[in-house]
C-alpha cells in the first residue's frame, strides 16, 4: 500500500526555530548534528545523571511493552550511543537482528562500544534501507530533532514489513502546572548546571533538550501525522506525563 503525500502540504517540524541556538530554520540541521557530535563522549554520563528512569532498563521495558520479542528484525533509528539498540539486542537474541542508524558519527562511535549491531550514518528522512524488511522500527528521544514528521514516518512505514510496528519514545511537555514547573526546574536549571561539569557544549545540549520539549508540537499532532503516514492502531501511553510511548502498526 502506498499513500500519496499531498504536494501542497506544509511540512510539520516538531518545533519552531529556536533563535537562541541558530538563526534560521535552515541552520537547525547543522546545529543539531554539531551539538551531538561535540558532546557524544559525555552523552551516557549526562543521561545517567539525569536518568529520571529514562535509562537502558526503561528502554528495555518499553520495547517489551511494545511487543518486541526474540527473533525480530529491529531497526533502531537515531541510535545515538545505542541505549535502545543495546536493549533491543538483548531481547531479539541470536535469532534476531538489530541495526542502528544515526546522523552523528560521534554518537555512533560511542554506540559501537556497546553493541555488535551494524551501525550506519544516515538521516531518518531518507533511510538507506529496502522496503518492507524490518519487524520493528524503534526511536528513542529523537523525534524532536527531525525536519518533518510525515516525511520521517513515511520512511518508517516504508521499511516495515506488513504487520510491523513502530515504537517512539519521547518526552512530552507535562500538562499539569505542577509537573511542568517541577520538570522545567530540574531539566532546564539543575541538569544543565550538572552537565556544565563536562563543558560548555554539554550545558548547551541540555538547555536545548528542555527548550525543544517545551516548544514541541502536542501529542495529538504526532498521532495525526502517524495516521496520515499510513499507520494503524496508533496510540500513546506514558508515565509521569513527561514520558510518552507512541506505538503504531503497518497493516497486514
Ligand X SMILES: C[S@@+](CC[C@H](N)C(=O)[O-])C[C@H]1O[C@@H](n2cnc3c(N)ncnc32)[C@H](O)[C@@H]1O
Q: For binding to ligand X (CB under 6 A), which residues are involved?
A: 32, 36, 78-80, 83-84, 102-104, 107, 123-125, 140-142, 145-146
CB of 178 to ligand X, least distance (A): 26
CB of 5 to ligand X, least distance (A): 18
HEC readout, 182-246: HHHHHHHHHHHHHHHHHCHHHHHHHHHHHHHHHCCCCHHHHHHHHHHCCCEEEEEEEECCCEEEE
CB of 116 to ligand X, least distance (A): 17
* Cβ closest to ligand X, residue 163 vs residue 248: 248
- What is the C-alpha to C-alpha distance for residues 28 and 138, in angstroms, rounded to an integer? 23
CB of 206 to ligand X, least distance (A): 10
Residue with cell 522500527: 137
HEC readout, 12-58: CCCCCCCCCCCCCHHHHHHHHHHHHHHHHHHHHHHHHHHCCCCCHHH
* Cβ closest to ligand X, residue 124 vs residue 191: 124
* Cβ closest to ligand X, residue 115 vs residue 146: 146
* Cβ closest to ligand X, residue 36 vs residue 157: 36
* Cβ closest to ligand X, residue 140 vs residue 192: 140
Nearest to 135, CA basis, from 83, 80, 81, 95: 95
CB of 120 to ligand X, least distance (A): 10
Amino acid at each position: 500500500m502506498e499513500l500519496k503525500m499531498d504536494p501542497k502540504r506544509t511540512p510539520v517540524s516538531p518545533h519552531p526555530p529556536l533563535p537562541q541556538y541558530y538563526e534560521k530554520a535552515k541552520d537547525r540541521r547543522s546545529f543539531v548534528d554539531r551539538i551531538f557530535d561535540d558532546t557524544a563522549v559525555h552523552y551516557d554520563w549526562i543521561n545517567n545523571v539525569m536518568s529520571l528512569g529514562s535509562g537502558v532498563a526503561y528502554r528495555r521495558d518499553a520495547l517489551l511493552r511494545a511487543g518486541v520479542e526474540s527473533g525480530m528484525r529491529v531497526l533502531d533509528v537515531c541510535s545515538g550511543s545505542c541505549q535502545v539498540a543495546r536493549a533491543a539486542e538483548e531481547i531479539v537474541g541470536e535469532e534476531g537482528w538489530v541495526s542502528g542508524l544515526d546522523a552523528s558519527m560521534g554518537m555512533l562511535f560511542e554506540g559501537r562500544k556497546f553493541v555488535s549491531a551494524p551501525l550506519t550514518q544516515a538521516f531518518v528522512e531518507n533511510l538507506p534501507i529496502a522496503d518492507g524488511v524490518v519487524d520493528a522500527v524503534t526511536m528513542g528521544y529523537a523525534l524532536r530533532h527531525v525536519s518533518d514528521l510525515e516525511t520521517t514516518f513515511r520512511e518508517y512505514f516504508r521499511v516495515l514489513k506488513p504487520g510491523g510496528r513502530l515504537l517512539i519514545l519521547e518526552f512530552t511537555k507535562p500538562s499539569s502546572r505542577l509537573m511542568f514547573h517541577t520538570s522545567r526546574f530540574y531539566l532546564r536549571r539543575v541538569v544543565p548546571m550538572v552537565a556544565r561539569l563536562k563543558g560548555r557544549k554539554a550545558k548547551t545540549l541540555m538547555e536545548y533538550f528542555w527548550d525543544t520539549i517545551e516548544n514541541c508540537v502536542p501529542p495529538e499532532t504526532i498521532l495525526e501525522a502517524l495516521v496520515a503516514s499510513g499507520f494503524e492502531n496508533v496510540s500513546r501511553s506514558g508515565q509521569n506525563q513527561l514520558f510518552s510511548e507512541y506505538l503504531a502498526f503497518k497493516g497486514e
